[in-house]
Amino acid sequence: MKKETFKGIVAAVLAVALAVCIASCRKPGTDEVSGYHVTPCGKIRLQYYEEINGASERAVNAWVNSFRAGYPDVTVQVEYIHDHPDFQALIAARSLGDVVSVRLADVPQYVSEYGALRALDVFAEALEISLDDVDPTVLNSCMVNGRMYAAPCMSDRFVLKYNRDLVKAAGLADPVELEAKNEWTWDVFKEYCRALTFADESGRAVGCSLQLGNSGIYIPFMEGFGGHWFDREFWQEHEELRFISDEHVVEGIQEMISLVESNICKYTFSKYFPAAVKTEGQKALADYDAETEIAFNDVTFFDFGKTGKAYEEKGVDWNVVSMPRFPVPKTGLYATGFAVFGGTRNQDAAAALCLSIVTREGQSVYCSQDGRTIPCIKSLAEGKTWRLSYPDISDDPVNGKNYDAFIRHPEDATAGTVEAVLPVKVATIVNRYMSTLVPDVVNGTKDLTSILTALETEANEALKEINDNS
């Protein structure tokens, strides 16, 4: 046999053996290899697109510096982008950084519609980064078709800030005490709002003010009375959404409308959902002071610090409590994180940086800066490193704040944005209708049945078009 022929046979045998070996290691349904060896080195760019302020920059810098200490062979260039990006244009131009900040609600769109993100689960396995301690609801927001495409850095949800002075003056039990006994229910909350709505010689107050056009508020209403406007199993099987055709969705929406119609709730609107309720009862509430004349206001941890300052400047005793529990408890969850751009030329270093945010060290340094955020790691969320300068109620029962309201009942969490569960085209339709639904009905410009019928029809037509073209 000629020497060249022998070399060719050996090469062929080795190639076949290598192919068999690789195939045997592949994860089912993927072309990625289990046991992949990661070698983080070289230069990568991190682009941070979320709302930027001094606190967020300090959090990112602390996390990146911690990563640099553990991976001295990786150079990280950090870019803070103050404008909300046109991701579609950046993806097309392949000008995204190797690692980018993302709202987890947008991850399905970036993966399914743009094909823009790199799956991270193989890298997590190779880097021996355990995800067991990550909040499962938050982690689920990073998943598309069973694969992990983002690493969460923080989560948030709506709770209620409240005027304790008003509650005490009305002779009512402190809501935190009821929360601790699982007695802080929707029916009890409505009783409180009725008792705390008055205008007499002693002054005036209204029970609550809620952003009912905000998806983080209205989604829990649609699900909290047993409604199934959307769930993954139902949608995948039947490919349709239900609004008017699910009586329990309608029931939840009617609860929102009833709050405003009875004028125990001041409807809150903003530039994001600018429609206002223009009834005489709501006009009378227009100038009520948020801290001194409104008993309960919705708030996220992002605004927690500003909340305390506003109350204390007016000499008001205040605290926070979880959203009241519906018959089927639901709380809208928001989360952000970091993802690896599919076009990166340095996937090992990019994945290592991205995944380092879900390690205990990464979460500790990121969430404990002066602009603190709620950790996505369960064991850290239960600790106190992320809590602000106000004392914790467990340490100071009289003046302490109920930080646990933000992490209580994690099993109640549901998507806080429509984009987290539906294609963006369909989500846009849902938000368009729902952001003005309460004003439309209470003002009498449209009736609820016609709104929900039109919403269901238009959303399902858009969903069908997407499915037909996929």
Q: For position 388, what pLDDT does the model report?
A: 82
Share of the chain above pLDDT 90, in %: 60
Q: For position 90, what pLDDT does the model report?
A: 74
Q: For position 239, what pLDDT does the model report?
A: 65
Tell me the CA distances in angstroms from 159 to 278, 406, 438, 443, one per residue in order. Answer: 26, 7, 21, 27
- State the DSSP code for 301: G
Q: For position 109, what pLDDT does the model report?
A: 79
Model confidence at 52, pLDDT cuts 50, 70, 90, reads low
Lowest-pLDDT range, 66-75, 88-97, 248-257, 414-423?
Answer: 88-97
pLDDT at 208 exceeding the cut of 80:
yes
Query: The whole model's pTM is what?
Result: 0.84
Half-sphere exposure of 422 (CA within 13 A, CB side): 27
Q: For position 106, what pLDDT does the model report?
A: 83
pLDDT at 95 exceeding the cut of 50:
yes
pLDDT at 145 exceeding the cut of 70:
yes
Q: For position 136, what pLDDT does the model report?
A: 86
Please report, in angstroms and rounded to a whole number, the separation of the first and last CA atoms in the chain.
54
- C-alpha to C-alpha distance for 159 and 407, rounded to whole angstroms: 10
Lowest-pLDDT range, 101-115, 289-303, 352-366, 427-441?
Answer: 101-115
Q: For position 153, what pLDDT does the model report?
A: 92
Tell me the CA distances in angstroms from 251 to 220, 229, 246, 247, one per residue in order. Answer: 12, 12, 9, 6
pLDDT at 413 exceeding the cut of 70:
yes
Domains in the chain and their CATH numbers?
Answer: 28-156+335-381 (3.40.190.10), 159-322+422-469 (3.40.190.10)
Lowest-pLDDT range, 50-64, 204-218, 296-310, 372-386?
Answer: 50-64
Q: For position 17, what pLDDT does the model report?
A: 37
Region 367-376: mean pLDDT is 84
What mean pLDDT, rounded, does the chain reach?
87
Model confidence at 85, pLDDT cuts 50, 70, 90, reads low
pLDDT at 255 exceeding the cut of 50:
yes
User: How big is the CA angle at 229 (ends 224 and 231), to the nearest 5 degrees?
Assistant: 90
Q: For position 401, what pLDDT does the model report?
A: 94
Between 264 and 4, residue with greater pLDDT: 264
Model confidence at 89, pLDDT cuts 50, 70, 90, reads confident
Model confidence at 84, pLDDT cuts 50, 70, 90, reads low
Model confidence at 5, pLDDT cuts 50, 70, 90, reads very low
Tell me the CA distances in angstroms from 99 to 33, 351, 376, 389, one per residue in order. Answer: 22, 8, 19, 32
Q: For position 113, what pLDDT does the model report?
A: 72
Nearest to 292 by CA among 415, 172, 371, 206: 206
pLDDT at 226 exceeding the cut of 90:
yes
State how far Cα 31 lies from the chain centre: 30
Q: Mind listing the pLDDT tens digit for each residue in 289-334?
A: 999 999 999 999 988 888 889 999 999 999 999 999 999 999 998 8
- C-alpha to C-alpha distance for 339 and 91, rounded to whole angstroms: 13
Nearest to 42 by CA among 63, 69, 73: 73
Q: For position 31, what pLDDT does the model report?
A: 43
Q: For position 116, what pLDDT does the model report?
A: 87
- C-alpha to C-alpha distance for 398 and 391, rounded to whole angstroms: 10
Region 392-397: mean pLDDT is 90
User: How big is the CA angle at 439 (ends 433 and 441), to the nearest 5 degrees?
Assistant: 80
- C-alpha to C-alpha distance for 118 and 75, rounded to whole angstroms: 20
- State the DSSP code for 72: T
pLDDT at 24 exceeding the cut of 70:
no
